[in-house]
Amino acid sequence: MSLAERVAPQLPYLRRLARAVTGSQTAGDGLVANLLQGLIAEPQRFSVDAPSRLEAFRLLCRELRRTDIARQPRDVTARWELETIRRLEPIPVLHRLAFLLRSVEGFSLSEVSHILGEPVEAVQRYIDSFAKELANELATDVLIIEDEPIIAMEIEELVRSLGHRISGIARTHSEAVSAVARSRPGLILADIQLADGSSGIAAVNEILSSFDLPVIFITAYPERLLTGARPEPAFLIAKPFQPDVVKAVISQALFFNEEAHAPGNKSPGTARAPMPA
């Protein structure tokens, strides 16, 4: 297999990571272009002994870590890009990389360790640090829709550890809708199967018909939401869950949602398309 055949399938994901780390499409794409030019000049830098995806990301992360991100050219006109840059700048690049590799690109902790050349324990510290630093800025009210008391308590503890507040804990469809009517949250964490046999999906769809806010499904039945039909949820965690994954996905969901942390905003937003029931 040629070098081009190894690298080409990874390019969309390399660009995604570089843009997320820099906060800019222009800067991110430029750094990926620098990487490709370097590989053309020195193809031996790409190890054929490692899986192509791991090796491509390892080389990109080396490029990102040795680059002064703050001095990268930015042809930024979109408001969301400017806001993303503002949020990212105080957070060390290594922490951004660890968090994004784990939560956005879906690498395991051991894979992130390999990509960054850092011990697994250090990678976990970087991820936790990123989540806490981001939560300090994006702290919001969170509604938990979960019918198992022990699981609800565990999720509540995770949410509070990130600096967020709990707006309510609902066990049924009707309780969830009522909780949002009383106090609009900035984020919803929802199970699918609820206490009275009602559906968390139906509850979320009813809420999203009036409010635009991020939702994370935490469920033992992910196959009900991963059917290939559209739309599908952007954030989905399978039970039993790992606490670090929940923390990472919460921060990711809030980071990419501008309205989630707007305090006191109770006006209806643009309705989202419903999840498949």
CA atoms within 13 Å, Cβ hemisphere of 66: 7
pLDDT score recorded for residue 25:
75
Average pLDDT over residues 177-200: 92
Q: Which residue from 241, 245, 198, 193 is spatially nearest to 221, judged by alpha carbons?
A: 193
Structure tokens at 83: 């806001």
Query: In 3-state terms, what secondary structure has residue 33?
Result: helix
Domains and CATH numbers, the chain: 3-133 (1.20.140.160), 140-255 (3.40.50.2300)
pLDDT value, residue 256: 66
Report the pLDDT averaged over residues 112-132. Answer: 91
Q: pLDDT per residue over 192-211, tens digit each?
A: 989 888 889 899 999 988 88
**In sequence order, which ranges of the chain are alpha helices (DSSP H)?**
3-7, 11-22, 25-41, 52-65, 79-88, 93-103, 109-116, 120-138, 149-161, 173-182, 200-208, 243-255
Give kind and range of the element (H or E) at residue 68: none
103 compared with 185, residue with greater pLDDT: 185
pLDDT score recorded for residue 83: 61
pLDDT tens, 3-43? 989 999 999 889 888 887 876 777 788 889 999 999 999 99
pLDDT tens digits, one per residue of 227-253? 555 445 667 888 888 887 888 788 778
Q: What is the pLDDT of residues 69-121, one digit of tens each?
A: 655 555 555 555 566 566 667 778 899 899 889 877 889 999 999 999 999 99
**Least reliable range by pLDDT among 144-148, 232-236, 262-266:** 262-266
The residue among 178 and 29 whose pLDDT is bigger is 178
- Confidence band for 190, pLDDT divided at 50, 70 and 90: very high
**Per-residue pLDDT averaged across 261-277, rounded?**
46
Strand order in 165-170's β-sheet? Answer: 165-170, 141-145, 187-190, 215-219, 236-238
Quick one: pLDDT band at residue 276, thresholds 50, 70, 90?
low
Q: What is the pLDDT of residue 270?
A: 40
Task: Tell whether the model's pLDDT for residue 261 goes beyond 70.
Answer: no
pLDDT at site 152: 96
pLDDT in tens, 162-172: 889 999 999 99
Task: Return d(Cα 112, Cα 60) in angstroms, integer.
Answer: 13
